[in-house]
Structure 1
């Protein structure tokens, strides 16, 4: 897709002016459509470059650099940011959203992209097999600085998870939409063993854990690593019981449920987002309470024109195959909250 945009780019920082060949860069993560890097600028005297003189020398501080992946066929970053501003931000308080800033990658051929591709080539062995050999979109004009929600201090705790479908589909009876889909996947691939089927967290537990101890323990079992301290586990348990973000996400999902025929691309975006949660414990011995930050990310605009047929066919297979009601043959086992409640 074209990188053109109907907005002024005059005030968007051009990071190619920061001598990218001298950057300290670390490959952080990637998905099907984007690559994420940690960038650190070398110390430099004041006014070394025009960019530094304009006060942008700390532009990467507290942020990660996200760039589009070649062949992903997604929307240009300016369009994604416009969608974020017009459609996503009205739904949630700003403190519950990972913040973004558009940056220029420089004129093509971009020195920034060349350096990032060189780093990817060196990192091939550590990348997911189906992502290997992919590179940055060669003619990308824009990247995005995204708020870095990872641990900033040794005492911090960070967890990332996908809440999935927090509001049951109106057509469902015995299983939620997510667990019905998992049963369908296992039905197509009988090689999946029972431990896999029962190892999928039912997203309805995220809401039920506010009042259901069993659901709370189930969520903690799935999202808290063994390395977490008892203190961090307790803080996370308190947040799960009392937070307002997950109920707010549930309300947004219910309002835009695709079965209602309302804004399908937004409905699917809200059901595929990620939640970043960071617990910061003061290290000064003052006894101040821990600070908990919870923010939604991965809320990019979905390409409904390309995916609508797939979404509709999957929903039809779930309904007609009896996966919402647990009537598929042979019947697959899941750990859906609704199935647990019925037994």
Structure 2
């Protein structure tokens, strides 16, 4: 059974056969895949094809599942629930919605307008871009399943803790008044989707999401190839080495100005892990890009006031930094 799982991880997720095929094609046209330029071409071609294949197939499958949980149904599931159960459920619902932080803002408005508690809404808002099931599956091919599953657990815990703290402080007055007045559309519960309609929805989501993220994938892979083949190991060790206490906070600061889908950060993560950067440091960078990017914070500022935005940023930043340190400390056990 372990051999079957190992084969699936190597040949399906990591697509080692594709790596060998790209290397053979480069060799056939006279390019050394082990050289600096050839290695960069190999990294770029292999990662772009691999990510787009896996991304397309998983977005289609997960979107089909997500068709059972439209915003109206999510609001209905969460409506009337309170306490830790509601926070946890909101965070888990966030993991099955393939939304970036910016596209989660309209859902935030809909949830608040529908009367959901603010803490529950923020638990969803934190979880939705942070813990995407498709990206977790791709991440498992880089850091392994134990570490990837631990990332899911810590991401959900961060979402629940952040939502609980915001809910406990009772900052409803810090939400812009127009949000509470936004119209709520409850959909048509009497018209369930057929299988054909769900397949059509999955195809639409596939085209829409891949159409939006492919530029970030190309940029991310290009940056990954640069890190992998051109940046000296000594420089990486000196700035982001596992013995450097500042590596995790620096990774968070570096991630904030970057606006990219989590899929665009995966090639960068792969290159950094290959250079020996701590897994927790790499995950902190990815989490900062997806949850704390400047464009998403600017959009969030349009619906909440500065006090609430500052609290949100502080909670998520501290949570990401703690997650990074925890992973760097525990990764030898998870990878064992």
Q: Is the radius of gyration larger for structure 1 or structure 2?
A: 1
Normalised by the size of structure 1, how large is the TM-score?
0.25
Structure number with the higher strand fraction is 1
